[in-house]
Structure 1
Amino acid sequence: MPPASTPSPAPPALSALRERYGAKYRWYLLLSVMVGVMASIMSSTIVNVAIPDMSHHFALGQERAQWVSSGFMVAMTVSMLTTPWLLSRYGYRRTYVGTMVLLLAGGVAGGLANNFSLVLVARVVEGLAAGVVQPIPAIIILRAFEPHEQGRASGVFGMGVVLAPAIGPSIGGILVDLFGWRSIFFMVVPFCLASIWLAWKFVPTTAPGGAVAARGNSLDWRGLALGTIGTLCLLNGLVELRGDAPLQAVLLLAGALASVVAFIGWQKRMVANGKEPLMNLALFGYRQFAMGSVVAFIYGTALFGSTYLLPVYMQLALHLSASHVGTIMLPAGIVLAITIALVGRAADRSPTWLLVSIGLGLLALSFALMMVLKLDSGIWLLVLFAIIGRIGLGFILPSLNLGSMRPLARPLIPQGASAISFIRMLGGAAGVSLCAIVLEWRLAAHGDSLANPTTSLARMAAFDEAFAMLAGLCALAICAAWQLREKTAA
């Protein structure tokens, strides 16, 4: 009788897939993960168009409504730390397909939910899935492509990924106007189904580096718990900074700081005991990675804060409909996709620190220009300023990961991709809360509230001050971006 171990052929590993599809296989692999990341990014941003409608449906205040975004960000931020362990234990295919199934389930559950608590649970489920999948493309680009192709691959990947959220708000805004907020949850369904099919066809079963996935080290649950507690304390502390409970805010922020100190101490202990840490602190011994992490945090704060602030500004300050908001952002999204493709090619030849610095400068300029808008300003100015900001993003997106991670030793690449994604999303989660807090604070200072049905000069001034904060953060990040320069021999 035949051996028990050979009743059926094993699923294709990396080497077998390369032999089957030839030199183009690496592009097929990139396309496969691109579709899944498109779904995860769409789920993170498109819900912002529906926040006003959802707030009205559930009779929510601004503070609770913003947890639709920040709750997703918390889950996504923390789950990113588990990506290297999941890939090592289960391989690319099982990890990737599992996250797509989870994202699909979250989208369907959110669309069918009949109370706000269930909506939040669905958003957390979506966030967990999105967090695991987002570091995977950076690992693939740095492992499957040669150094002279990595910029081009990053550009192609970035162009594809931003097209979905560029078009998504336009379609989502129309869906909200026609069918209500529930419809935007179902937009991820076709992307999830397509990504699962592509994964079974092109994504290998192996772990990073082509090794066989093995049940080796267990997950660092204590480190994950400390990371979760620290993130929750940080975000809730920022919310309490509104002034209602200053002592509670101080205690929560102190808890976040204590969690960071405990996390660092625990990770060092894990390494000393010969175990696999959740985040390898050796990454920060590389100057470019350390500085890139600073840029990633500030960049995440500005980017995700603005994705929350801009739709609220257009709908509650300028009184534009949800469909108008999506239409206004569509040209900027298309320009962003084109910019990423062009800058990706340039990243193979030009210094990444220069590209990142240019992008941050343009992003800061776009936020500063929002302050010149008045109630009677033309819509074309809003479109133009959004385009300037998206051109800035196009310079940053394909360049930051490459500039930060190229110096890393190859075994550290999965950890590096996970860590810098975690730091960027931690900034993003803080940015959503920070923008909501600053907006409420400045509205109260000017004697206005978003509950008032009419827009006033005071409300416009409050939004201007929130945009000024984002512009200042981007300008600050340029100082760290200059440290991405490679040291040259004297």
Structure 2
Amino acid sequence: MSTAATLPMAAAPARPATNKWLVTVSVTFGTLMGAIDSSIVNVALPQIRGAVGATVQEITWITTGFAIATVIVMPLTAFLGRLFGQKRVYMLSLAIFIVGSALCGVASSLEQLVIFRALQGFGAGALQPTEQAILRQTFPPKEQGMAMALFGMAVMVGPAIGPTLGGYIVDNYHWSWIFFINLPVGVLGLFMVWRFVHEPEDIRAANQAASKELRGNLDWLGIALLAVGLAALQFFLEEGQQNDWFDSSLITVCALLSVAALALFVWRELTAKVPAVNLRLFKDPVFTSGTLIGAVMFAILLASMFLLPLFMQELLGFTAMQSGLALMPRVLVMMLVTPLVGRLYGKVSARLLIGIGVLLVAYGAYDVSHITLASSSEGITRAILVQGIGFSFLFVPLTTAALSNVPRARLADATGLNSLLRQVGASMGLAIFATLLSRWGSHARGSLVAHLSPDRPEVQERLSALAAGFAQRGFDPVSAREAALRALDGIVTRQSMVIAFEQVLLLTGICFLCVLPLLFFLKVNRRGSGEKVHVEMEM
């Protein structure tokens, strides 16, 4: 297999290489749509819930189903590529995603919507890892940083613009258009991949050689354990907060099932003759450290994308559209800075770039943790711009460095695992920080209520002022007093949530500083085996 992966150029039929920018645009369509769809639905949940007659808890299944399907497919991308070809897997995945989008738009019941969203997720799961591998194989060694910068813009920007785009569509059109909008873009992307993306000769030869051995030793047990373990883990992370975690027997069973299934999966893959997922890639400390830091980065990124809009909408009274627009400058600065970091990657130490990124993200978290009820959208935007620059300094060197020692024939394996840990990291970040937000909010409320003694003159003064205000609106004395008490309770609740938000946002920065020791293992070999020249060939 290693021989096939490094075929000399003279052995391949000569053909003009496709323009790398056309390849990039072609494969980015699907990845961007998949990344947007991971978050765009969230702002439309109230409208969808009313249309299909679901409860608040039931409607979350349309996001949970998508997430579970996505993580199951990600690590199997290389396995599928060896069986059917890398380009065919990407096109089939994109086609499944398009069909799933169309079916979601016409769904008339909750059951249909959950099934069709899962179908969407199965299609979206292979798009990110396959694009990452295709770009690494298409760009020459000196431009690997730029290739990952272009990939990073789709992966990071997609979840950021999803809520804003979804808010605009929901405010002006029917909710089904958050799915229908994928159809023309997806069809265009499908055509461009068919026309401009071609599998490199060395990758095709390696996959053909591996396919013969793979077909005779299909690792069905490993695939089954992987599917069960990841499905249980993702359900545990997505639904745990709503079900009070281990107070729920269902969540407890899912946690135990995921641990058992994934432990057996690791044992199976390390002992199988032809494993479905190549876990031995984690023997490379560069790949392992880069992937783990990337998982933490996405945990912080997705947590901040969840927490800040929630703060603005719940406490500042912003609409979904307004909160999305307030966060848009961070997206724009990431789009501007990421390509610049891609150019710097070949000239500056990856560890230096990542270290700068970690410090900027941590400082941005410290800055944004000082938001209050008096904060304006402009003040919040200024605070998160630093984080946007920090994320830009992180994604390109992390993704590029993590794959620097991976042979070309194993890039699809590595990108699948890399994408999986990013996705699981993001889910863990959301689960952990959402739980802490709720618990710290309750704790802060208890602390504040303890100081609201009726004997304190400050409390009596505030209640009298509130009661007087209600009396001026026509309330009788008894009703005014009751309304004043309720108003004071609301003020306490709001202030306790502000304290909780500040603490959680500050914690995200502190957690990020904890990954700095992993930079010691991130020693990049810029002439690694993953940077061999290739020749492209029609499928």
Partner residue of 1:354 out of 347, 352, 355: 352
Q: Secondary structure at the match of 1:318?
A: coil
1:206 positional shift: 6.4
Distance 1:483 1:332, change over 3 A: same
Q: Secondary structure at the match of 2:188?
A: helix
Q: How does 1:348-387 map to 2 (within 5 A)?
A: 348-387=346-385
Residue of structure 2 equivalent to 1:197:
191
Displacement, 1:250? 4.6
Give the structure 2 partner of residue 185 of structure 1: 179
Structure 1, 437-446 or 99-108: larger mean CA deviation: 437-446
Residues 413-432 of structure 1: CA distance to partner in whole angstroms, max 9, x if unpaired? 22111111111111122233
Counterpart for residue 452 of structure 2: none
- Write out per-residue CA displacement over residues 119-163 of structure 1, whole angstroms, 9 at most, x where no aligned residue: 332322222111111111221233222221111222234346655
List per-residue Cα deviations over 1:452-484 (Å, max 9, x = no partner): 999711222233333234333322223323421
Aligned partners of 2:97 and 2:119 also within 8 Å:
yes
Contact kept in structure 1, 2:102 and 2:179, CA below 8 Å: yes
What are the residue-to-residue correspondences of 1:57-96 with 2, within 5 Å?
Answer: 66-96=60-90
Q: SS of the counterpart of 1:330?
A: helix
Kindly provide the CA deviation profile for residues 381-440 of structure 1, in whole angstroms up to 9, marking residues without a partner as x.
111222222212211221112111111233322211111111111112223333333333
Give the CA deviation at 1:374: 0.8
Q: 1:209 aligns to what SS in structure 2?
A: helix
Look up the match of 1:320.
318
The verdict on how the C-alpha distance between 1:346 and 1:161 changes in structure 2, with shifts beyond 3 A counting, is same
Q: Distance in 2 between matches of 1:152 and 1:205?
A: 20
| Residues in 1 aligned to 2:357 and 2:54: alpha-carbon distance in whole angstroms | 36
RMSD (Å), alpha carbons: 3.1
Gaps of 5+ in 1: 1-14
Per the alignment, residue 8 of structure 1 pairs with none
Task: Report how many aligned residue pairs link the two structures.
Answer: 465
List per-residue Cα deviations over 1:54-89 (Å, max 9, x = no partner): 466667776555554443222211201121122222
Correspondence for 1:19 among 1, 15, 39: 15
Larger Rg: 2
Matched, 1:268 2:270: yes
Aligned partners of 1:138 and 1:401 also within 8 Å: no
Contact 1:353 1:483 in 2 (8 A): no
> How many angstroms does 1:302 deviate by?
2.0
The yes-or-no answer on 1:415 pairing with 2:413 is yes
Task: Give the CA deviation at 1:223.
Answer: 1.9
State the TM-score, normalizing by the size of structure 2. 0.78
1:82 and 1:243 map into 2 onto residues whose CA distance is 29
Residue 485 (structure 1) aligns with: 523
1:228 counterpart residue number: 227
1:474 match? 512
Q: Is the 8 A contact 2:53 2:110 kept in 1?
A: no
CA distance in 2, matches of 1:155, 1:185: 27
**Residues 184-219 of structure 1, C-alpha deviation per residue, up to 9 Å, x if partnerless?**
222322321111110111122568714286453245
- For 1:202-281, list aligned pairs within 5 A: 202-204=196-198, 209-211=203-205, 214=208, 216=212, 217-218=214-215, 219-238=218-237, 239-240=239-240, 242=244, 245=247, 249-270=251-272, 273=273, 275=274, 277-281=275-279
Using a 3 Å threshold, how does the CA distance of structure 1 residues 434 and 356 change in structure 2: closer, same or farther? same
CA distance in 2 between counterparts of 1:465 and 1:66 reads 27
| CA pair 96-207 structure 1, distance change in 2 beyond 3 A | farther
Question: For the structure 1 residues 460 and 108, does the alpha-carbon distance in structure 2 shift closer, same or farther, using more than 3 Å as the test?
Answer: farther
Q: 1:474 to 1:445 in 2, by over 3 A?
A: same
For the residues of structure 1 that align with 2:41 and 2:365, how far apart are their CA atoms?
A: 22
The one-letter code of the counterpart of 2:309 is P
C-alpha change, 1:105 and 1:213, in structure 2 (3 Å) is same
Contact 2:206 / 2:409 at 8 angstroms: preserved in 1? no
> 2:403 corresponds to which residue?
405
Instruction: Give the CA deviation at 1:344.
Output: 0.5
Counterpart amino acid of 2:516? Answer: I
Q: Is 1:427 aligned with 2:438?
A: no
1:116 and 1:307, CA in 2 relative to 1: closer, same or farther beyond 3 A? farther
Identity among equivalent pairs (%): 25
Residues 97-176 of structure 1 mapped to structure 2, 5 A cutoff: 97-159=91-153, 167-176=161-170
**Residue 483 and residue 57 in structure 1: after superposition, are their counterparts in 2 closer, same or farther (change >3 A)?**
farther
Among 457, 460, 465, the residue aligned to 2:495 = 457
Structure 1 residues 475 and 180: alpha-carbon distance in aligned structure 2, compared to 1, 3 A threshold = farther
Contact kept, 8 Å, 1:162 with 1:337, in 2: the verdict is: no
CA distance in 2, matches of 1:52, 1:313: 18
Q: Which amino acid aligns with 1:472?
A: I
SS of residue paired to 1:19: coil
In structure 2, C-alpha distance between the alignment counterparts of 1:250 and 1:157, rounded to whole Å: 37
Q: Which amino acid aligns with 2:333?
A: V
Alignment check: 8 A CA contact 2:106 2:176 kept: yes
CA contact (8 A) 2:101 2:183 kept: yes
Distance 2:134 2:245 in 1: 45
Letter in 1 for 2:282: F
Counterpart residue identity of residue 339, structure 2: A
Taking the aligned partners of 1:316 and 1:56, their CA distance within structure 2 comes to 21
